[in-house]
Each structure stands twice: as C-alpha cells, then as structure tokens.
Structure 1
Amino acid sequence: MQAADLPLVRTVSRPAVHPDGTWAVVSVTRPDLDADATVGQLWRVPLAAATMPAVTPSGDLALAAPTGRTPAPRRLTRGFRDTEPRFSPDGALVAFLRAEPQAAPQLWVLPVGGGEAVQITERQLGVTDFRWSPDGTRLAFLSREPEPGRYGSVEGIAPAAEEPRRITSWSWTRNGLGYHRDRPQHAYVVDVPDVAAEPVVQPVATPQGPAEPRPAVPEPRRVTTHDVDHSALAFTPDGAALGVVAAREQGPGQVGTGTVRVLPLTGSGGGGSDVDLGTLGPQAIAFGAGGELYVVAQDLGPEGKDFVARNAALYVLSAWADQQPRRLTDPETQTVGGEPLPLDDGGVLLALETRGTQHVVHVADDGVTTQLTSGDVVVSGFGVGGGTLAVSYADPGTYGEVGVVEAGAAASASATGEGGLRRVTDFSAPLRAAGVVTPKELVVTGRDGYPVHGWVAVPEGTGQHPTLLMIHGGPYASYTTALFDETQVLVDAGYAVVYCNPRGSAGYGQAHGRAIRQAMGTVDLHDVLDFLDGAVAADGRLDGSRVGVLGGSYGGYLTAWTIAHDHRFAGAIVERGFLDPEVFFGTSDIGSFFGLEYVGETPEQVAAQSPQAVVGQVRTPTLVLHSELDLRCPLSQAERYYSALKRNGVDTELVVFPGENHELSRSGRPRHRKQRFEVILDWWQRHLPVG
C-alpha cells in the first residue's frame, strides 16, 4: 500500500441487521482525494451464504452478483456521506445520517421497500446520534444547541464578532470540536413522518404578497433541560422514558464524567430521575426487555480521579430507580466497552479487547461471559436480528468487512464456546490487490523477564532492511492485528516495522496498564527497546545497525523520551506528542487531570518524566509533526520542543498541518493524510535511506 492508495481504505460501520435476519445495512466510507473529504454510502449486505463481490481492474467493487444464489452487496444510497444506519423495529425503514459537502449531518429515513429517502431534521449544527422508539413512531436524537449569536445562529455575526466567553469551569474545549459549553448537546424526540405521504411543496407568491413557507421537516421536541452535554441515548422498553448520560461538573483534578438520567416522555414533560451510580463514570447505557438498566462504566474512585488504566465494566440495575448497580464483568482482567446490546432472552452483547484483538462476548445476568468470536480479528460493531448475529470487523488482510457468527444459538448467546466467523463481504479486495504484507506476531522476554507482545512487518524479498520502531498513542491503547495503513505504507517503502504493546497499554489487564502510572518512561521504555532488540535478533532481514523511531501522542512522548536516553537511532519522528507536562496543564482539553495522574503533581515528579526537561540530551535528527488545531496535545507542545532542539543545534524540522486536530492520521482531510505520509517518507529517505 502506498500513500496514493488511501482511497482504497474502506471503513465499515456497525451492521444494522434486518428483523428477519437475512440481510444487513452498513455504511462504507473512504477518503476521497478529489473531494478532499470522507465520502460513503449505505450498502445492503445479504447474510445467508453470500458469495464474494468481484473487483474491477480499476479497483472498484463490481455490483453484478457473481455466480451463486446469493447476490453480492450492493449500494443502497447515493448520498455524499451516509452513515450510522439503524432499522425501525418492524424493519420497514432505515434511519441514517446524511452529510452534504461542507454541511452538518442530518437525520433521514429510507423505506426499504423502495422510494427516496426523507429528511427528518434540519439542525443548524447537525445530528450526532439517534435511536428508534420501541414502537417505531419516534426517533430520539442528539444535537448541539448554540447560544444566540454564536456559530452562525444569527446571520451576519462572524466568529470574530461574537461576544466574549466567560469561563469558570475546569474544562471548556474538546479536541475536534473547540468550545462546547456555549453549544451544549441536547436530546430531542421527533415523530417519524409518513414516508408515503405527498412531499412538501413550497407555495409561491400571489398578488396579495409573499407566501408563508411550509415546514419541510417535522418539529422536534427537546427533552433535556440542563445546559450540559448529553450522550448515550436509550429508550425504556415501553417507550415512555428516555435514558441519557448528562455531563457532570468537574472538580479539581477530576475526570470529566456524567450522570445517568431517565426522562419521562409522556405528560407535560420535565422532571426525570437520576440513577445513583456512586463512584462510577457511565460511558454507555441500554435497557433490557424486562426494564433492567445495563451500564458500561468506569470506577474512578472516591475522589473521581483514578482513571489511569481503569477498565470499564458492565453493571446492571434490576430496578434502576432504587437499586445499587451490580457488577457483571471483572475490570482487573476484562477490557470491555462499546454500547451494550441487550438480547430478548437476557444478558447483553459487548466488545472484549484482549492482546491486540477485539471480540464479541455475551454477558449473562449472572456474570457468565461467553466469547462468540475468535482468532486474529478486531470486531468494531455488531447487530442482531431474526436469530442472526452480524459483526463489522478487521483482520490482517482487511480494513473493514461484515461477517456472520456461525453458531446456531449465537444470537441468543445460549451456545457455549467460541463461534466461527463467516465473512460475507470483501470491501478490502482492492486494497489487497494494491499490495499488503501480513505482520508476524512476536513475544520477546524483556530485561526483567516481562513478556512484551507485538508484531514485525517486513518487506517482501531478500536482504536486510532498515528498521523502524513504531510506538502507539494512549498510553492506555494498543496496536491490534487489524490491517494498519501506517505499517503498510512504511513497509511498501522498504522499511521493516517493529511495533508492540509495552506496559501501559490496554488489553492485557489493569496491572499491565497501571505499571507506568507516575512512572512514564521507565518500564515502557525498556519494553519497546527490548522488543526492538528481540525482533532484530529473531529475524535476519532486520538491520539493527540502521534503525529509526517514531510515534504519535503518547507514542510521540515515548519517542522523545527514547532519543534523549538512547542514541542508536538515525532519525526520529515525534508526532502530536505529550512533550511538556508542565505546560500541558491549562492548555490541553484533558490537561486538568491527565498529567496529574500519569506523571504526578510535584515539580520533581513532572521533571523526572518530561521530555522537555531532557531535550538537551537529544542528538538524533528529529522531525516534529503536529496539527494546528490539536487541543489534546496543543501546538505549543511541539513548538517548545522544536525550539529547544533548534537552540541545541539538533537537525530538526517542524511541520504543522493547518485546520487539523489530534485525529489527523485517522480522520483528517484526505489530501493532508496523503501529504503526511509523503512528509514522513521524505524524512526517512533523507535520514534512513532504503538500500
């Protein structure tokens, strides 16, 4: 894979499975270099014994079905960017989000029996999420409500002419969004219109004067009242109330979290009940068929600060109004997450992260956990309908596909043991045709006897290759077995790539993740260097005398820390790094709590773990990459680090991408993503040339 192949990277959404279980709808999106935007549509995917779609010479997916009784997936919509499909309970409609160029996403519904999609909302700042009511007559959705005079709510008032902001809280911005307290996210409910009715036609003027315009979309009703951000929508089984997570005010050093609130939808409105979760920070909620409330939440401790490598767990409340939550999963050993999907016969489906993979598990109401998928897959979403469990997933040869869990009782989760996964799409075929390499799994025993798990990707052919040590962000995140564009582009350019999940990473238990709490740059540094040495020793194709190191976010931190303490590297790339913990406080959107728990509070603790404090020890040529609008690791982190390198006479460059935030490499403008790869490859060609 080369940088120019980015348009072949297709991402597949969570599948919406039709109630009859025979087909699903997914959104398939991709970067488009011509449009300089992410584009995509909804696809209809047959689930019963499907055959693979063909690939045309141009790399497009053929729409004609290959030989076989089951047709290939086919495009269902033709919008600019259609995402997040969800079936109505009766399966007659698909609701989804549609975004036009330079416009915010709006909510639409599409009749599955044929006909055009009907627009449901016309929100100034768009719609971010939604859910069907149990009877299918209403949709609840989330949308930001701007203060009057801000964000274009009053024509003629530009951003620079808005009134000043008064800030009294600990947090006021979010990466990728900017200021958020003056545009809180509220929950709304809207009636689903008759999609077979006459379309709205606007009247024209008469000699008596202009005509009164007719409303083109139904009027929604706001059901949340507090001006804070709301998330995690869930209808009660009878549809009489709506559950949400309402943001809670942060205290000094506390993590931003929320309160589960259940809001009545009948009567005069207003009111609502808060669910007592104690020290738990809720992330996702769902109601079971019997009215029980399932909550995925993180225990932040009595002070609300203890977030480092604290896994979320699944909790259940049988009667949510007056009971304490009962924990169903073990956060010490199980890394669960995502939105819980309740099943009719009890329990829920969840995602379980482990050792670079992610699987679907069923968690029963007694806490018994059954894994339903297996192997080197990363399941990103799942849906159930008509006894069929479908998942979206990636693996070493695919960026995003749809598969069916092959177990007779998997959808009801009454089967025991692991279920097989049958792939029913091949959206990544054009990418594989462009050329991908399958990394090899490796475990290296570190200097203190600790096992370090990771992968090695080597270019095809003979001879030794310059080797790059790549370090992930987080730090409580992980590299996975899924096809990864970063690795593939570097390998295609002729580099061997070594990457692992050192202590501090997720998916190996809390003790593994908490090993670097207020000890960053200690055992994690040992782990990545020991893994590099072990990989070079295990594979003669890796040239240990020609090595480079790179990483982003926490990976940028550990890269900067590494080159201050180890001078073997011909070059380094420090990207969007957490580089100056002292300045991080008060500038980052998570600066009020992140550094306090990860590096500590005293000046001595901070200096002992700060790359900026040891920048004078760096001799390695270093490229500093950053984004202009990064609010997670603000641009000042890169500017101070680069300036210190420059002052000290280190060969260095600073590259800043305008208009981008912390997510440039994952969801930035396609042309910037391609240019980023070109900048990286140019740096390595100058400082660690192939051949």
Structure 2
Amino acid sequence: MSDAKRPLTAEDLTQIEVYSDPQHAPNGDAYAFVSTSINKDNKYESQLYTQKLTDSEPRQWTFDEDAKNCNPRFSPDGQHLVFQSTRSGVPQLWLAHTDGGEARQLTTFKNGAVNPSWSKDGNQIIFSARLEKDDNVQEQKEHTKDEKKKEAEDKAKEPIVINRLKHKANGSGFRDEKRTQIIQYNLASEQFIQLTHGDADYDYEDISPDGSLILFSANLDADEDSSLTNDLFLLHTDTKGMEKLTNGKGSYSNASFSPKGDKIACFGNEFAYAGATQDELFVFDLTTKARTCLSESIDMPLGDMMIGDTRMGQSTTGPVWSGSGDALFFIGTDHGATGLYQADLQGGIAVLYKDNNHVFGFSYNDKSESFVLGISTPTNPCNFYQLKDGKLARLTNANAEFLQEVALSEPETITVEAEDGFEIQGWILHPIDFNENEKYPFILEIHGGPHAMYGQTFFHEMQLLAAKGYVVLYTNPRGSHGYGQEFVTACRGDYGGKDYSDLMQAVDYALKNYDFIDQDRLGVTGGSYGGFMTNWIVGHTNRFKAAVTQRSISNWLSFYGVSDIGYFFTEWELGENLLDDPKKLWDFSPLKYAKAVDTPLLIVHGEEDLRCPIEQGEQLFITLKHLKKQVEFVRFPGASHELSRSGEPLMRIERLHHICRWFEKYL
C-alpha cells in the first residue's frame, strides 16, 4: 500500500457519491443525472446535475438539503426539465426551465407523485400516484407536517384488517386500499386527468408518438391476488377503451413504442423456469399483432443482474429504440460483467461495449448517435462515459479525492470446474498491504437471490474486509445469473446440494492455489439466500472458524407463511408448498441441522424485514442458544431486507462494525 493511501473504513460509506439515471438532452449536446450521497446529518440526499458533453465537469442543478431529487426528464424541445423531489415532504413533481430560475411545483398529491414522463408533443406530463378509490385528482392536497403526524398517530391506534394474500411487501410494509394509477397533466390548462381507475396497480410504460395510446403494465387477472402475471395493455386516450397486448401467461415490462408507433419492444418471460426464467427481448407489431423474440440467439439474462452495496437510484437498462426504429439497445449480463448490446429486428445481436466492469445504465440520443454509459468497476464506484463510434470517453471524475486517499484491492478472476462440469466463476481480493510471505485469514462471501450475480463492480463490504487484512473470495455458484438458462435454474429443488458443493470446491481451489491463505482461519458470510447458505454450511461442515449470517432463512416451513413471497417462492425454488410435502421443506431447513453447528455464528437481521422475516433469525438463535452453542443475535430496528444496500446510513455502518468485530474475535 502506498504511504499516501489509507485502508478503507466502514465510515467511508459516507464519502461515496453514487451516480445514476443519465438522461440525454434532446439535442444530444448535454445530459442530466442524479447524484446520491450521505450528508453531514447521516441522511441520504440526491441532487440533480447537468453536463454539456464538451465540458470537463458537471454542474449542480439542485441544492436541497435532506431532499431526494430524481427522475429528471427533458421536455421534447429541451426547454424544460421535469423531476421528482421530496423537498416539500413527500415526492412531488417539479418543473424547471433549462435556462435557469426557480423550479415550480406541479403536483400536491396527498400520497405523492412519481416517475414523470413527457408526451411526444411536450404538452402533457404523465406520472403515477397512489390513490384511494374515490380520490379526486383535481382536489389533491399535500398534508402539512402536523397533519401527517396526526394521521400516523391515528393509524397506529387502529387494527389492521387483512383479507388479501398479497397484504405486505418488503420495504413498504402492510398494504392498504390505495392503488397506483396513471395521471396525465396538461401544462396549458394545468388540469389533471386520471387515465386508469380500476382496483389494480397500473404501471405506466410509454405513450405513442401521436398521443393516442397509453402503454401500461398491470395484473388485471380476475384472481389477481393469487396471480404473478404482469401483462401489457393499450389504453386509447380518446375512448378510454383498453386492449390486452400479451397473453396472460407471463410477466412483461420495460415496454416502449417504436419511433413510428407501429411496434412495441419489451422484456418478458412466461415463467418456463419459474423465478429463474431469463427475460427475452420481444417486439409486438401493432398492425399484424405478431410477437417476435429477438434474443433467441443469446443465452443471457437481459438487464442488469449485478449485485453491489453502493448502487442507489434507478437507471435505464433498455430496451431503447434507435432513431430509425430498426434496432434496439439494451444491457445484458454475462460472466460477471454487464455490457451494452444491440439487436436488429431480424434477431441479430451485436456487442456495442463490454469490458470487465459494470454498465449500470445508459442513455441514447438519436441526433448525436451516441450513448452516455454509467460504469462501475471494482475500484471505482461510478462514472459516466460517452460512447460514440465505438470509442469511449470519460465525462466525469466522481469520488476523485476519495479514491486518491484510500487503498483498494483489484480482484483476481478464478474459474473452478464443478464436479458435473459446470464452470464456477469467482474472484479473489488480496488484503491491503499484501505480503506473499505471510499467512492471512480468509472469508467466503455468498450472494443472495440466488438468481443474481457477483462481478466486476464496486463493493464496499468486500473492500472493507480486504482492508482489515482478509483474503476475500466471492463466487457465482449454480443458480447465479450470467451463465445461461441451464446454469441459473440448476439450484432449484436442490438448495444445499450442488450449489453447496460449488462453494466448497471454490474454497478448496483457493486453498490449493493461494498458499498465503491460512486454512485454519476460514470465515463465511452471506445475506438472504447467502444467509441460508451460511446457515447450511455451518450445519454441514466445521471447516469454518467463524460465520456471520445476514437476513437469512433458517426454516422453510415457517418462511412459507411469514415472508411476503413465501407462499409461491418455496414451490418455485424448492419444488414444494407447505401442505404438499412439509418433510421436504424441513429437510431443506438449516434449523434441522442445528445440533451439528460448532462454528461461532453471528446472526444479523432487520426488525422490519418482510422478505426473510426476523423470526427466521430468532428461531435459529434460540435453538443454538438452547444447545449452548457460540451464537450472538444483532437486531436492527426499523431495517428492512435492504439494510446492507439502502438502509439508514448509521445502521449500515454499525452492521459492518459487527461483522468485522465477529471475524476479528474468531479469526
């Protein structure tokens, strides 16, 4: 390590700026984006920036302390920017002139207004809002702080009446009677028109070039409460008539009209492999009603499947139409990296940009025929680049001072052959101040999902462990995305089987090929599915001397009934529901093997986790404690399943301190 650089710390989370959502100006000479950081009060803050492509630095557009400004969208003539901001208390829409001046508030909806988009003529703004059944969009009034406080106090005193299967969702809590509706705002008349009204959640996708059709996605099944489909629909703006575009057998999203309005592109699948099904790229011809799959020639998940712990804010992943309408652009996930791809309407696929890094979003401009790419690497959280004529040019220099100050470890890629021939990709991080003549403790990191992917992106937690002097191994065992459909579905019905073997063989490979690893000081950690696997590992081997299980699953029998996804996830992933074969679910449960656990185990869990509820951690703790095992339980108040990624900053930092403390104590 250079004398000028210091080791990374847990508190360095507060030093990192995270860029997202690049949006080209219509003329192609500038773009806007969102920068999210943690301010001096340890709160998240998001500000908008703009940058001319000829300028060396971006210009800050918003300056609201403690506010989250996001979703910047240029008007078609480039003269205005509509965006979403919490500066008034809840997310509302604001409009600013691109020449400068104060932004004007457009909406005062009681429950907020989000995700603005322009009609092609620039006369309308379409957005989404949560509404009660009888709400009048012309009479919406945002509550004052006192009104919000009283409403919250009154609600806390009322019982919650539940009559739906889908009655809760991780991150948002118990569902109420509000539904997401699509609203249109006329800039000339300053009037709102509610375009959808049913007892369903309607997600706006796009508006046709002539403004006659609204494209949206929704689950309008008669038995919507038990169905997991998401169909595409067309709403005629004149008659308000609707027509269904898809067949009710799958899930479709990211849909948009072609420049001429005669076709629609989208991502989608029909659950051929349940939740492990890779999306395909489809085009619907509105004249012939034919559906064409353009991605048959590639065995790769579409979109961004990369996992990280500093990625905040949404970004476009495609599909995006070319200006001529004869091609589509999208991000694809492949072997630990993501890249930008192009598909023609005959199904030909070309790589426009791919390297050993993480393309997390992009914006395309048909006038300049260029892209703005958001890219993260293992040693750089984020930057924007212009891609034009195949050449990449950096536009920003985010986190420059921070990166000059801290020492980071560059990962080394490894490939391990599994017992049945699958190739398992992984990465080794060397400790900071590495000396090949020394022996170092080792930590295996296991990702969640399981249908997700580790790879070539910045990961604060991994770098922190390397800074603490650990060799870090992270891999993509079977079940991970990025290696084809057969690979991603291979763990279903076999949790704790060959996926476990993949991980153990990767550890064996590391011990065999890196003699600086101290085989007597091995640790393991993971969250969600990675937490399940950590629990499984310590119940099936004593080779690890310390383990930290995070937001984990310990008992599939109870998970079925307490998780917001348990009622379908157990069948999708394990092959059985609770009443069909409870013995099988118990056999898959780490809790069954608690007597065999001798590894000191730290259990980390969020109190408000509705995906893997805290009772999963409680059951494991009580059982191990009753058995007189070395176990400790750390509960994080108010934290959901997203604690490590977007939880309260101080909670995230404290979580990292507990992980490091446990490994320091036992390794």
Q: TM-score when scaled to structure 1?
A: 0.86
> How far is the alpha carbon of 1:331 from its aligned partner?
8.7
Determine whether 1:390 maps to 2:372: yes
Measured against aligned partners, the alpha-carbon deviations of 1:163-213 in whole angstroms (never above 9, x if no partner) come to 64241x33121111112351211111112369xxxxxxxxxxxxxxxxxxx
> How far is the alpha carbon of 1:270 from its aligned partner?
3.3
> How far is the alpha carbon of 1:232 from its aligned partner?
4.1
> 1:313 & 1:532 partners in 2: Cα distance?
34
Alignment of 1:242-641 (within 5 A): 242-249=214-221, 256-266=228-238, 270-291=240-261, 292-301=263-272, 306-319=273-286, 323-330=289-296, 333-337=299-303, 338-346=317-325, 347-385=327-365, 386-387=367-368, 388-407=370-389, 419-433=390-404, 434-459=406-431, 460-462=433-435, 463-601=438-576, 602-641=581-620
Determine if contact 2:93/2:114 at 8 Å carries over to the other structure. Answer: no
Measured against aligned partners, the alpha-carbon deviations of 1:229-265 in whole angstroms (never above 9, x if no partner) come to 1224211111122111112459699662322122222
Structure 1 counterpart SS, 2:456:
coil
> 2:499 & 2:359 partners in 1: Cα distance?
27
**Which amino acid in the other structure matches residue 358 of structure 1?**
T
**Which amino acid in the other structure matches residue 285 of structure 2?**
S
Which range moves more in the overlay, 547-556 or 254-263?
Answer: 254-263
Which range moves more in the overlay, 243-252 or 88-97?
Answer: 243-252
Determine if contact 1:559/1:573 at 8 Å carries over to the other structure. Answer: yes
> How far is the alpha carbon of 1:554 from its aligned partner?
0.4
Q: 1:344 to 1:475 in 2, by over 3 A?
A: same
Q: 1:20 to 1:239 in 2, by over 3 A?
A: same
Determine if contact 1:82/1:98 at 8 Å carries over to the other structure. Answer: yes
Q: TM-score when scaled to structure 2?
A: 0.89
> 1:614 & 1:509 partners in 2: Cα distance?
32
Partner of 2:314: none
Partner of 1:212: none
> 1:598 & 1:671 partners in 2: Cα distance?
34
Determine if contact 1:14/1:391 at 8 Å carries over to the other structure. Answer: no
Determine whether 1:183 maps to 2:154: no
Determine whether 1:141 maps to 2:127: yes
Structure 1 counterpart SS, 2:566:
coil
Partner of 1:76: 61
> How far is the alpha carbon of 1:220 from its aligned partner?
2.4
Measured against aligned partners, the alpha-carbon deviations of 1:71-130 in whole angstroms (never above 9, x if no partner) come to 3122122123211212111111122111238x3221112211111111111222223312
Q: 1:164 to 1:173 in 2, by over 3 A?
A: closer
**Which amino acid in the other structure matches residue 458 of structure 2?**
L
Determine whether 1:192 maps to 2:187: yes
**Which amino acid in the other structure matches residue 381 of structure 1?**
G
> 2:43 & 2:150 partners in 1: Cα distance?
26
> 2:652 & 2:26 partners in 1: Cα distance?
39
Determine if contact 1:286/1:339 at 8 Å carries over to the other structure. Answer: no
1:125 corresponds, among 111, 119, 139, to: 111
Partner of 2:193: 221
2:43 corresponds, among 30, 37, 42, to: 37
> How far is the alpha carbon of 1:161 from its aligned partner?
3.6
Partner of 2:309: none
Measured against aligned partners, the alpha-carbon deviations of 1:479-506 in whole angstroms (never above 9, x if no partner) come to 0201111101111111111000000100
> 2:187 & 2:596 partners in 1: Cα distance?
63
**Which amino acid in the other structure matches residue 663 of structure 2?**
W
> 2:424 & 2:202 partners in 1: Cα distance?
39
**Which amino acid in the other structure matches residue 461 of structure 1?**
F
Determine if contact 2:624/2:631 at 8 Å carries over to the other structure. Answer: yes
> 2:191 & 2:224 partners in 1: Cα distance?
40
**Which amino acid in the other structure matches residue 430 of structure 2?**
V
> 1:571 & 1:75 partners in 2: Cα distance?
46
> How far is the alpha carbon of 1:553 from its aligned partner?
0.3
Q: 1:183 to 1:435 in 2, by over 3 A?
A: farther
Structure 2 counterpart SS, 1:559:
helix
> How far is the alpha carbon of 1:464 from its aligned partner?
1.9
Partner of 1:174: 169
Structure 2 counterpart SS, 1:482:
coil
**Which amino acid in the other structure matches residue 537 of structure 1?**
K
**Which amino acid in the other structure matches residue 295 of structure 1?**
C
Partner of 2:161: 165
**Which amino acid in the other structure matches residue 567 of structure 2?**
S
> 2:613 & 2:333 partners in 1: Cα distance?
29
> 2:213 & 2:224 partners in 1: Cα distance?
34
> 1:661 & 1:105 partners in 2: Cα distance?
21
Structure 1 counterpart SS, 2:452:
coil
> How far is the alpha carbon of 1:11 from its aligned partner?
1.6
CA RMSD of aligned residues (A): 2.3
Determine if contact 1:8/1:430 at 8 Å carries over to the other structure. Answer: no
Determine whether 1:18 maps to 2:1: no
> 2:245 & 2:91 partners in 1: Cα distance?
31
Q: 1:254 to 1:567 in 2, by over 3 A?
A: farther
> 2:401 & 2:566 partners in 1: Cα distance?
42
> 1:249 & 1:528 partners in 2: Cα distance?
41
Percent of paired sites with the same residue: 29
Measured against aligned partners, the alpha-carbon deviations of 1:288-312 in whole angstroms (never above 9, x if no partner) come to 11221112112124xxxx4232001
> 2:205 & 2:584 partners in 1: Cα distance?
41
Determine if contact 2:229/2:249 at 8 Å carries over to the other structure. Answer: no
> 1:424 & 1:115 partners in 2: Cα distance?
25
> How far is the alpha carbon of 1:686 from its aligned partner?
1.1
Partner of 1:412: none
Q: 1:456 to 1:254 in 2, by over 3 A?
A: farther
Which range moves more in the overlay, 240-249 or 676-685?
Answer: 240-249
> 1:537 & 1:484 partners in 2: Cα distance?
26
Determine if contact 1:253/1:596 at 8 Å carries over to the other structure. Answer: no
> How far is the alpha carbon of 1:457 from its aligned partner?
0.5
Structure 2 counterpart SS, 1:399:
strand
> 1:27 & 1:622 partners in 2: Cα distance?
39
Q: 1:248 to 1:181 in 2, by over 3 A?
A: farther
**How many residue pairs end up in the alignment?**
623
Structure 2 counterpart SS, 1:637:
helix
